[in-house]
Amino acid sequence: MNEVVRKRGRPPLDREPKHEDKPRVRMKAAPNWEHIDPNEVTSPDRLHIPRDIMPEGYDFLWATDTIYGQPQPQQMSTRVKGGWTPVHQEDFEGRFDGMFMMRGADGHIKMDGAILMARPIEISNRAKRADKRAAQEQVAVKEQALRGGDLPVSLDSTHPSAVGSNKINKSFERIAIPED
């Protein structure tokens, strides 16, 4: 009664593999790597567009296209209503062809669930002015509430102890904006 005792763990390396190795597919011609810039490939910001290749008179935006693979048509609809248009690789004399997608690919420029969109700079400037005006109006409403005594019941801006110390200070701080 010879009983075979099996050991636990990995099988020894000298065993023959059960499947046959498939032959590797070889490229017919060496690929052209001349258009690759090593500095751009290692850039931490994969969605960065250098200012020197941006066409004059246009503003660009990466907009949400999908979230975890789910299309977001309401986001796209909002952007299109705001004057944004999806960019194709052949747009702008092909400046973006091969930059974010394979060279010559059809369709809009998409990357990581985002889609590249553009609109004329005049529309963007108008939208920025409207946003600034809306923000200033919100601040003005709160200032008026503070000065006019239109505060919650627990606070009274017209009380003699508060009148001397109620102040509204405004300040602006410069922030550093990186230049390309």
Residues 100 and 152 in one domain: no
User: Is 76 a domain residue?
Assistant: yes
Domain assignment present for residue 71? The answer is yes
User: Number of folded domains in the chain?
Assistant: 2
Are 79 and 110 found together in one domain?
Answer: yes
pTM beyond 0.75: the answer is: no
Say if residue 111 is in the same domain as residue 87.
yes
Range from 1-5, 76-80, 91-95, 170-174 carrying the lowest mean pLDDT: 1-5
> Based on the domain organization, do 94 and 58 belong to the same domain?
yes
Q: What is the mean pLDDT of residues 21-49?
A: 64
The domain in which residue 153 lies consists of 124-163
Q: Higher pLDDT residue, 164 or 74?
A: 74
Are 55 and 116 within one domain?
A: yes
Do 94 and 140 reside in the same domain of the chain? Answer: no
The C-alpha atoms of residue 47 and residue 66 are separated, in whole angstroms, by: 16
pLDDT of 132 strictly over 60: yes
Examine the domain organization and report whether 82 and 147 are in the same domain. no
Looking at the fold, whether 70 and 51 belong to one and the same domain comes out as yes
Burial class (CB in 10 A: 0-12, 13-18, 19+), 81: exposed
- What's the pLDDT score for residue 147? 73
**Together in a domain, 54 and 108:** yes
Q: What is the mean pLDDT of residues 105-128?
A: 93
SS3 category, 61: strand
Residue 125 pLDDT level (bands cut at 50, 70, 90): very high
Which pairing describes strands 58-64 and 114-120: parallel, antiparallel, or unpaired? antiparallel
Q: Is residue 171 part of a domain?
A: no
137 located within any domain:
yes
